[in-house]
Structure 1
Amino acid sequence: MNLQMSLKKNMGKIIALLILIGGSLIVLVPLLWTFSTSLKTPAEVFADNFFPKVWKWGNYSDAINAIPFFTFLKNTLLILFPVLIGTVFSSALCAYGFARFKFRGKNGLFLLLLATMMLPGQVTMIPMFIMFKEIGWVDTFLPLIIPAFFGGGAFNIFLIRQFMRGIPRDLDEAAFMDGANRWQIFLKVMLPLSKPPLVAVAIFTFMGVWNDFQGPLIYLNTTDKYTLALGLSMFKGMYNIEWNMLMAATILIMLPVLIVFFVAQKHFIEGISISSAMKG
């Protein structure tokens, strides 16, 4: 009887493992194709061989030199760092208000905030463009940066708020007894204890800004102000596409995201787990 139960448990684990391996292969095959294509000659891109016969590592340096890569990198970082600071801080501040303050209409306001997650971005795209155009912000980085300082996004607020609700209120009361005000409690108690969701929000924001193509495409007109994601489009000509160069540049742009994710993986998993708030 025990042997049968053990076999059933092991069989379930084996099936789950096979499903995970299959799902991983589905994700990894396009990535491997991108990597292999980045090392091919133009003639080999659509050949039958999956991996190149001769590995052309020079494609990476050629891709960097083909476009103003470092100018695009600088532009991306000029947008990224302010957006990271604005998104993390403003979403944490809003989440703290919803998690700790009591005021009339709080639940209704929070439901309204969550309802904005169901609103497609295409609905607000044109009104926002018209607004930024009227105040002269088109072809500047401001439309891509300033909105981050006004709430940080409904999902980010929800994530941090749920985590903060799990932090015992005894800590607030102890801080009050020591003479701390609300602002000091937020900065010195809630923010340090909310590190996991803050890191998760930072990772989401980093990936969103780093890979953002639509925003720069709408608001940036000057080539010198392009970001890395928008700069990839320069490998696409009117009559042909340099696939090997495009894939090489794609791999280079993808690497920072992978590094950040794997370095902060522990905090990311904790950040999306609401129960981990009790560990703080």
Structure 2
Amino acid sequence: MQKIQPRFNLSQLIALLLLLGGSAIVLVPLLWTISTSLKTPAEVFGSAFWPTKWQWSNYADAVTAIPFFKFLGNTLIILIPVMIGTVFTSAISAYGFARFNFRGKRTLFLVLLATMMLPSQVTLIPTFLLFKQVGLTNSFLPLVLPAFFGQNAFNIFLVRQFMRGIPRELDESAYVDGANRWQIFTRIMMPLSKAPLVAVSIFTFMGVWNDFQGPLIYLNSNEKYTLALGLSMFKGLYNVEWNMLMAATILIMLPALILFFIAQKYFIEGISISSAVKG
């Protein structure tokens, strides 16, 4: 039997080369960060990409050079309530837009979508002045409170689009069994919307964990710094401790990487949902 020779596909080869090039663009800075975190200060700007002797002690020095665990606790104080508030308000707002009919619903939804077109820098100064007038600056509240009022319109839009695809027959069956609106929301809509809600949780985690601008604007005391803001303490007036800065950066990246590998199924599904929504 004659073997069928695989046909040369130029488009697949080009796609493969583009993917390899994109991977290299992403991986080279990451590898440089890892190699720098293992170098001595004298080797940081040397010609060798990898250190001659790997300095694993840089990681321990990076943790002790700054109040690392204090900053970690501050980050979690912000992160946990923000995730809870974002998921709850996104779900309940999306449920209202997906299942309720009321006057002005379309206009209100268009206003919600319009807020997605405003860069955060546009509302930064008015929001800061508002929190300053009520005396909430230099506290975690300005970073937490907006999450309980539907701060991210895209999350609401994402979950709402998913909920619209859930058959209304489930609601009607629950009504027949005596369930009210709240029971339908908590016992039917929330469990069925697990994929977009987990995706919203991951997006929120990434945003808060890596947020530098928010803590920089609202937090003035070093004791209240988050991990992202604490990295700036490695930068002195005349020099930067690049090896320990990169070591601390790797340590801060690890939780996000671990979370991605644990929940990558929902993350990829959330990306596909968001791509379909944008399309």
- How far has the Cα of 1:272 moved from its partner? 3.4
Deviations 1:56-93 (A, max 9, x none): 00000000000000000000001000000000000111
Is the Cα–Cα contact under 8 Å of residues 172 and 185 in structure 1 kept in the other structure?
A: yes
Distance 2:273 2:259 in 1: 22
Find the counterpart in structure 1 of residue 7 from structure 2.
Answer: 7
TM-score norm. by structure 1 comes to: 0.94
Q: How far 1:55 sits from its partner (Å)? A: 0.4
In the TM superposition, 1:48-59 aligns within 5 A as: 48-59=47-58
Once the two structures are TM-superposed, the CA of residue 157 in structure 1 deviates from its matched residue by: 0.4
Other-structure match for 2:255: 256
Q: Mark the runs of 5 or more structure 1 residues left unpaired by the alignment.
A: none
Contact 1:91–1:157 (CA<8 Å) still a contact in 2?
Answer: yes
Show the 5 A alignment for 1:1-280.
7=7, 10-274=9-273
SS in 2 for 1:50: coil
Q: Using the alignment, how far apart are the partners of 2:92 and 2:17 within structure 1?
A: 43
Q: Report the identity percentage.
A: 74
Distance (whole Å) between structure 1 residues aligned to residue 111 and residue 25 of structure 2: 37
Gap change, CA 1:272 and 1:181, over 3 Å in 2? farther
Can you list the C-alpha shifts for 1:216-254, whole angstroms capped at 9, x where unaligned?
A: 111111111100000000000000000001000000001
The Cα offsets for residues 182-225 of structure 1, whole Å up to 9 and x where unpaired, read as 11111000000000000110000000000001111111111111
Question: 2: distance between equivalents of 1:243 and 1:131?
Answer: 37
Q: CA RMSD in A?
A: 1.6
Q: Distance in 1 between matches of 2:180 and 2:119?
A: 39
User: What is the deviation of 1:122?
Assistant: 1.5
Provide Cα deviations, 1:137-191, integer angstroms capped at 9, x if missing partner: 1111000001100014101001101111111111111111111111111100000
Native 8 Å contact 1:88 1:152 kept in 2: no
Closer, same or farther: CA 274–165 of 1 in aligned 2, 3 Å:
farther
Structure 2 residue identity aligned to 1:150: F
CA distance in 2, matches of 1:246, 1:185: 49
The amino acid that maps onto 2:89 is S
8 Å contact 1:163–1:197 — kept in the other structure? yes
Decide whether aligned partners of structure 1 residues 262 and 129 sit closer, same or farther in structure 2, where only a CA change above 3 A counts: same
Distance 1:246 1:17 in 2: 34
CA distance in 2, matches of 1:21, 1:175: 51
Residue aligned with 1:136, SS: coil
Q: How far 1:261 moved relative to its partner?
A: 1.2
Asked whether the equivalents of residues 166 and 274 of structure 1 are also in contact (C-alpha less than 8 Å), the reply is no
Distance 1:263 1:210, change over 3 A: same
CA distance in 2, matches of 1:28, 1:110: 40
State the TM-score, normalizing by the size of structure 2: 0.94
2:116 match: secondary structure = helix
Hey, what's the Cα distance between the residues in 1 that align with 2:253 and 2:139?
A: 25
Classify 1:274/1:45 alpha carbon distance in 2 versus 1 (closer, same or farther; 3 Å).
closer
